[in-house]
Amino acid sequence: MIDNSIGESYNSVPYHGHAFAHTDINHLSALGALFSLSPKLPSQANVLEVGCAEGRNLFPLAVRYPKAKFLGIDLSSKQIAVAEDRRKKLDLDNISFLVQDVLSMESKDAFDFIIIHGLYSWVPEDARIPLLARAQSLLAPNGLIYVSYNTLPGWHFRNILRDFLLYATRNCISTDDRLRAARESLAIWSKAHSNPLTAGHQMIGTMLNSLNHLPDWYIFHELLENHNNPLYFSRFVEEASAANLQYVCDAELATVSDYDLPEAAQSAVRTLADDMLSHEQFNDFIRQRMFRRSLLTQKNLSIPRSNFAAEVEKLFFSSPLIPTSRSTTGTTFEDPHGVEVVVEDKPLASALTALSSTWPGSLAFNDIHAATSTAGGISRAELGQNLFHCLMQGTVFPHREAVALPSKVEDFPQLSPLTCLEATWDNHVTSFKHEDIVLSKEERFLATLLDGKHSKAALAKLMQEKFAIGEEDVTRILDKMREHALL
């Protein structure tokens, strides 16, 4: 058994999580294919989530892929009871939940994807390799394991907060007393950092301010748990190898590239590194990285890491970049955060413009290649290389199967039954691209009405009565929902 106290802890303070975008099996399958592996298509997959909590990460996947199978296990009986109750309300027969320790788990069927989110750093250190070894034994021959964990060196700073809170609450017995004392201590300590004396004080002050907006369950499990053992990426790779697994890539490719680093930092990393793994570790030192999302696969598989342009041709892509202007020097695009990106290469600009026109949906490589003909065309190999660079920069996202979404808001807008139900739980709902979307109170109320039975005019009237907002505001909210892949 990993540690029986972990289940008791989450029974006492349930973890009210949400969907985690990088665990989307369409995304994970695409990454596996990009690295010349042969993972299962998401629509046909058998998926296990270890530490599933109340099922918020698995439900959206089960709804999107009705022919796939999903199993969520957790040590907390209270959280599994909530998940099972919600499963019954959604009438889903392709997902199940069990109170189960993964170390003693048996399964007659291998799993194509195993998701271990928010668990690896929160178990005793001597349980980590056995955890991965058990996952390896449950994994299909071409399967993928997603593991997220707190990392050093970034967590050295966060550990100051954790050590402070553990000491400040050392005399508290009950959970409620520990949380109350933690909040009071954070408020007092925040004042000491209002006028930082050093860069270290400033960093601690920034982290303290961020904690003021986080819920009690997050504070408790992130900073007050018995176990929270961050580790270096290089150590994680060694532990994976000991469990007959190997590192594939990070689920967020842009975080391991050095495109966005200053030239001096890029040069330093490339000079110090002698292989791909050490490059990523030195990159973590430069970035003071605090968190990773690593993909693992069976140790006996060959990963060439040299044929990316060819593998790109087998995938679908989407991009949120919006073209804003064109000039003789290039096309200017804007990302969702308002950051401008200037693309001088005309065929690539045409490709990105085509992707923008289908957002939040996707395009196949062949369709993207055809779009470049308006700018004189480009070879398939060159487009593949350009798209791979865009992936590494985080401006384009890969998919193994097509993402088909409406290009306009229908006259009778409709959310999935799950999204409507999610809006009654809290203000977090999940998009069709497995992204967590936080709703305003107006958006949340509207979401509960989007059952396909109300026209846009009827919705506008109901919103006017409830919030005194006009039809233009409702149209704006619906357009935003479509852009976020909710409709």
Q: What is the pLDDT of residues 154-200, one digit of tens each?
A: 999 899 999 999 999 999 999 999 999 999 998 888 887 777 677 77
Q: Is the pLDDT of residue 455 over 90?
A: yes
Q: If you search the block for the tokens 């357009």, which residue do you land on?
A: 479
Percentage, residues of the chain above pLDDT 70 = 99
Per the omega criterion (within 30 degrees of 0), is the bond before 262 cis?
A: no
Here the tokens at position 436 are 């967590």
Which of 445, 438, 449 shows the shortest CA–CA distance to 466? 445
112-116, 338-342, 433-437, range with the lowest pLDDT: 338-342
Judge contact between 398 and 317, C-beta under 8 A: yes
Cα separation, 135 vs 113, in Å, equals 10
CATH of 4-153+230-298 among 3.65.10.10, 3.40.50.10260, 3.40.50.150, 3.40.50.300: 3.40.50.150
pLDDT category of residue 208 using cuts at 50, 70 and 90? confident
pLDDT category of residue 97 using cuts at 50, 70 and 90? very high
Whole-prediction pTM: 0.94
31-35, 54-58, 210-214, 399-403, range with the lowest pLDDT: 210-214
Element (H or E) spanning 73, and its range? Answer: strand 69-74
pLDDT category of residue 229 using cuts at 50, 70 and 90? very high
Q: Is the pLDDT of residue 201 over 80?
A: no
Range 138-141, long-range pairs (CB < 8 A, 24+ positions): 138/48, 138/105, 138/107, 138/110, 138/111, 138/114, 139/110, 139/111, 139/114, 139/297, 139/298, 140/40, 140/46, 140/110, 140/111, 140/112, 141/110, 141/298
Q: What is the pLDDT of residues 38-65, one digit of tens each?
A: 999 999 999 999 999 999 999 999 999 9
Q: Please work out, in degrees rounded to the nearest 5, the angle formed at the alpha carbon of residue 455 by the alpha carbons of 449 and 461.
A: 75
CA dihedral sign, ordered 78, 83, 88, 94: negative
Per the omega criterion (within 30 degrees of 0), is the bond before 141 cis?
A: no
The region that residue 240 occupies, defined by phi over 0 for left and psi between -120 and 50 for alpha, beta otherwise, is alpha
3-state secondary structure string across 240-277: HHHCCEEEEEECCHHHCCCCCCCHHHHHHHHHHCCCHH
Q: What is the pLDDT of residues 329-348, one digit of tens each?
A: 899 999 988 999 899 999 99
Q: Is the pLDDT of residue 462 over 90?
A: yes
Q: What's the whole-number mean pLDDT along residues 425-444? A: 95
Strand partners of residue 70: 47, 95
Cα separation, 428 vs 20, in Å, equals 11
96-110, 254-268, 342-356, range with the lowest pLDDT: 254-268
The letter for the amino acid at 246 is Q
Q: What's the whole-number mean pLDDT along residues 201-216? A: 81
Cα separation, 278 vs 29, in Å, equals 25
Judge contact between 245 and 120, C-beta under 8 A: no
Domain with CATH 3.90.930 in the chain: 308-399
Q: Is the pLDDT of residue 1 over 70?
A: no
Polymer length in residues for the chain = 487
Q: Domain 308-399 belongs to what topology?
A: Outer Surface Protein A; domain 3 (3.90.930)
In the chain the first and final C-alpha atoms are separated, in Å, by 43
Judge contact between 131 and 229, C-beta under 8 A: no
What was the pLDDT predicted at 9? 86
- Can you list the positions of beta strands (E) in 266-364? 291-298, 316-318, 322-327, 330-334, 340-343, 363-364
Domain with CATH 3.40.50.150 in the chain: 4-153+230-298
Q: What is the pLDDT of residues 355-413, one digit of tens each?
A: 999 999 999 999 999 999 887 778 999 999 999 999 999 999 999 999 999 888 999 99
Q: What's the whole-number mean pLDDT along residues 144-160? A: 95
Q: Is the pLDDT of residue 300 over 70?
A: yes
Q: Is the pLDDT of residue 6 over 90?
A: no
pLDDT category of residue 418 using cuts at 50, 70 and 90? very high
CA dihedral sign, ordered 233, 276, 253, 127: negative
The mean of the pLDDT values for the chain is 93
What was the pLDDT predicted at 92? 96
Q: What's the whole-number mean pLDDT along residues 199-210? A: 78
Cα separation, 126 vs 154, in Å, equals 22
Q: What is the pLDDT of residues 303-329, one digit of tens each?
A: 988 888 889 999 999 999 999 998 888
What was the pLDDT predicted at 16? 86
3-state secondary structure of 487: coil
